[in-house]
Chains A and B, each alone.
Chain A
């Protein structure tokens, strides 16, 4: 698959940003962890973002010249994206170092910058695809869906790590079923709106629902988090899902997002000569 490096890059970078944001908010609310665990978590997020960026380089015809992609911030969203992810990584180094005793206030400031750079970077990633030449993408949907990947998987990632290393868990698992519901409903409306369009829009919608993996994508990212985790909201006895259950939901939803991104890239119908829209 030609876009595999981009699939890996976008999904991993979005998880990293979602996780960083979650971690920063939890820390801000005074909810977290000892500094050792915080530092470990921050390092793991940094590693995730680094792997993502390394993967993206393999999408290029000439990976060793990747640095040239920084040259056109004036108009190119790809250049802007790379700058923003670089800024996120640079500030994250500071963030990692401030995970030590007595540096709470610095940590919260650096963390805020880092999270913000990450969020704008994810939006810049999405803006690359907001193109008149690709009518089904030429709207808010790439931004929304890219952010949704981070919102669904970021808190789950932090939740799973905390679950593994910290008995005092923070109920971060609760975010996933709610976000999966929002994600599923908005995807349903997006596809419906595409179908009500003509030409490339309807053709893209047709490609999406006829993609052989579309059912799995829906099952893994949208249905499983809801069906498995939502019932715990309504249990009479306040009971949390088992650690393993949350970890499995994370892995399945992650697989769902990888498949979903593959569908994103491979179902788009571009404007073409003779394709009257």
Chain B
């Protein structure tokens, strides 16, 4: 089985501090209204009792990327290591990928009139570094993984995450352990 790079999202550790999204914005020099990594609140009662839980999500570098399929200009490429990258110079800003991605990942930049999305900082990975978001997380709640070797025992979805059957996202989750109130 080939390499399938993606993210592990540990919701047990995530404290919702948004360092990851800020680091991503900063590293990629994104325009003010663009975010490539978002920290979502999981619905309060998702685990049976009101609890504040967060999950930090970016592009899932899907096995069957809907963005790539919909793009008329072949602006998307799935690399041999599984990372889905977007070639900005090929993009004409038709927003078909925005429609097609079930996770609302590609973002239309009104200034550039093109879309953009997380590319798993592949240039940093190639140099043996971690992605900017991973490096900045104070609790190590996100890290890059190879989904093909990570093994079982992890969740492939958390409450509120759209059906992973659609695009087979390369993301795995560690679900929060809820402390029961006595």
Contact = CB atoms under 8 A, between A and B. Distances in A.
B34 interface: no
B35 to A, nearest CB: 13
A62 B166 CA distance: 30
A75 interface: yes
A128 B93 CA distance: 15
Contact of B74 (A71, A274, A277): A71
B92 A128 contact: no
Given A62-B113, A65-B92, A271 B162 contact: yes
Interface string A31-61: 0000000000000000000000000000111
| Most B C-beta atoms less than 10 A away, residue of A70, A72, A134 | A72
| Dominant secondary structure at the B interface | loop
| Most A C-beta atoms less than 10 A away, residue of B42, B74, B101 | B74
A70 B72 contact: yes
B94 interface: yes
B96 A78 contact: yes
B71 interface: yes
Interface string A247-277: 0000000000000000000000011111111
Contact of B70 (A62, A65, A77): A77
Contacts of A59: 94
A109 interface: no
Contacts of B27: none
A272 B43 CA distance: 13
A114 interface: no
| Most A C-beta atoms less than 10 A away, residue of B70, B108, B161 | B70
Nearest to B99: A131
A37 B35 CA distance: 57
Given A61-B94, A62-B92, A69-B94, A273 B57 contact: yes
A132 interface: yes
Contact of B92 (A69, A129, A131, A271): A69
Contacts of A221: none
A271 B102 contact: yes
Nearest to B55: A273
B143 interface: no
Interface size band for B: 35 or more
A89 interface: no
A128 B66 CA distance: 12
Interface in A59-90: 59-62, 65-66, 68-72, 75-79, 82
Contacts of A271: 102-103, 162-163
Contacts of B104: 270, 272-273
B101 A133 contact: yes
Contacts of B91: 61-62
B90 interface: yes
A275 B94 contact: no
B92 A79 contact: no
Nearest to A69: B72
Interface in A162-209: none
Given A62-B91, A65-B92, A77-B70, 12 more contacts: A69-B72, A69-B94, A72-B74, A76-B69, A128-B96, A131-B100, A132-B66, A132-B166, A133-B99, A133-B100, A270-B104, A271-B102
18 contacts: A60-B92, A61-B93, A61-B94, A62-B92, A68-B90, A69-B92, A70-B72, A75-B68, A75-B70, A79-B72, A133-B101, A133-B102, A270-B104, A272-B104, A272-B162, A273-B38, A273-B161, A277-B163
